[in-house]
Amino acid sequence: MLHTIIQKNSYQDSIVLMLLTNQLNTIQGVKKASVMMGTPANKDIFKTGGLDTPELAAASSNDMAIVLDIADNDETLIQNVLTTVDEFLKEQSAGNNDQGTETVKTWDKALAIGKDAQVAVFSIPGSYAAPEIEHALNEGKHVFCFSDNIALEDEVRLKKIAHEKGLLLMGPDCGTGIINGIPVAFTNAIRKGKIGVVGASGTGIQEVTTLIHKLGGGVTNAIGTGGRDLKAEVAGITLKDSIATLENDPDTKVIVVISKPPAPKVRDEVLDLLRGLSKPAVTIFLGEEPTDHEKNLYRAYTLEEAAEIAVQLLNGQSVELKEEVPKNPGLTFSTGQTGIKGFYSGGTLAYEAAMLVRNGLDLTTNQKATAGFILKTGPYEIIDLGDDIYTQGKPHPMIDPTIRKEMLAKVADDPSTAVVLLDIVLGYGSHQNMAKELAPTIKEIKNKAQQHQRELAVIATIVGTEEDPQNIEEQKQILTEAGVFLCNSNAQAVKLALVMLGHPLQMKARDILPEKTSEHTPLTPSKDMTAMLTNSAFINIGIRSFSEAITSHDGKVIQFDWQPVAGGNVTLQKALQFLNKIKLS
């Protein structure tokens, strides 16, 4: 029986509601529960999940909708659910107040109290984000936009506005950033240093910056651009402005640029821009296997290589390929056990793994990509579990291990699978103890495989540092005790898998060619862009937990508990925005 509870004018951010949903599903007597705001898109998700009810029609975008599948109309159980909801939300609110974060509910107060804040961090529903971002830009704020599902034409328009105003729009769909040593959103705690990073890839930035940290280096800033920035339509507006900003930063000595495959014209423009810098640069365009370097412009093939070259340059060392072939632990696989399965929470890590597996096994075919598959060819499967198909209405796999545990549980039933690849991403916003969550399932599938006289190798990499809120040494111990082979990087994990299957991957050393002349007119960032690099004050609009990372690194933050105006009616919101523009002009 479905029971619906609508709490009027009770706006909460999506991550909080996803975590609340998980908690309600643990209550005895609740077969299934879902908690979301009453937006049209969320109502469709309720319907798809078999939780559509007539009462949902009356819920507005500002109303919190709770739908329960319970045995009968048990008032005691319903009251238990409501008590759990109240206690959970109070705990979320109290956690922020304990940090001394000041909370406001209007733009006027946020701007008045946060007048020194140079960056506005957005994590509100994408359907409402564009006008709010424009408002922040018009107030002279740089923008870090975690929100996704923003129209591409809005992204182009807003980035052009930011560029004209001498501001940076990081995002949309920007999951990771480090500004003046302060982590923003889903980010690791990285030592401050002399390497600046610009990336159109969240977990790509995380992998490179944590490896820089492990190699003894540090990061000045890591500027995320959002995954679409290097598309032809956007033309790399944020990435180019970020490169120019880091070029003019006296604390940055080496610049690293990270991206999934960019539009060829944009890639060539970026390379030409980098040739005109006074500082050495390292690029990695995942999926492209470079044939050479240029003096002061070095091209990496893997995220690990990008980190290694950056640290070599910083230390004044010669750029050399560190080719370490992983040692084969000597597992004996059964006849027909040739497959690799990768269950990744990081999309860029999944992409890198697929690239290396395809290269190492010389795979030339790939079935049509569906359901988050980056690679699907015979017994070889690499899946990005952060794909929209897995996260719609559900927490990201960096937060919630459920989907990964479900997929892992099926592995032992596949006699063709020999190796399983995993990433454990630490840092702010991620699960506090992912290793503990996954370890029991890993033990179960290894034992089940052995019962069928098969070995099953599980290889993992931990993306994190000893400064992260999770205990990285504890994570290592838990995984090792579960029988997991741990590698220092994602690239090393894939290489080990290939070694185990008798297909060692040989990386190619590259010559350093003479420096080429840049045909690009050097970009000159505004004073506002360069000043952002010393920023330590933020306005956080949306997910409260993002304030924790800022305050834990001595940053200041105003928490803006945003709610959609006009009852969430987008048409009316645009009309109000238009009237405000007329008023201001």
pLDDT given at position 388: 79
Mean pLDDT of 482-497: 97
Lowest model confidence (mean pLDDT) among 233-242, 379-388, 526-535, 561-570? 561-570
Mean pLDDT of 287-316: 95
Report pLDDT digits (tens) over 418-432: 999 999 999 998 999
Per the listing, tokens 């990061």 go with 219
Q: Hey, what domains does the chain have and what are their CATH numbers?
A: 2-98 (3.30.70), 103-173+554-585 (3.40.50.720), 175-323+509-525 (3.40.50.261), 339-500 (3.40.50.261)
State pTM to two decimals.
0.90
- Band (92; pLDDT cuts 50, 70, 90): confident
pLDDT given at position 84: 93
Report pLDDT digits (tens) over 126-164: 888 999 999 999 999 999 999 888 999 999 999 999 999
Token reading at 356: 């290396």
Mean pLDDT of 38-49: 86
Report pLDDT digits (tens) over 518-539: 777 777 788 888 889 988 999 9
Kindly tell me if the per-residue pLDDT of 584 is higher than 50. Answer: no
pLDDT given at position 426: 97
| Residue positions counted in the chain | 585
Pair 15, 545: CB distance under 8 Å? yes
Average pLDDT, the chain: 90
Kindly tell me if the per-residue pLDDT of 585 is higher than 80. Answer: no
Q: Is 569 exposed, middle or buried (0-12, 13-18, 19+ CB in 10 A)?
A: middle
- b/e for 259-282, b at 16 or more Cβ within 10 A? bbebeeebbebbbbbbbbbebbbb
pLDDT given at position 106: 92
Kindly tell me if the per-residue pLDDT of 569 is higher than 60. Answer: no
Report pLDDT digits (tens) over 280-291: 999 999 989 999
Pick the closest to residue 559 from 117, 65, 47 (CA basis): 117
pLDDT given at position 158: 98
CB proximity list for 46: less than 8 A, separation 6 or greater: 34, 36, 52, 53, 56, 65, 67
Lowest model confidence (mean pLDDT) among 217-226, 368-377, 485-494? 368-377
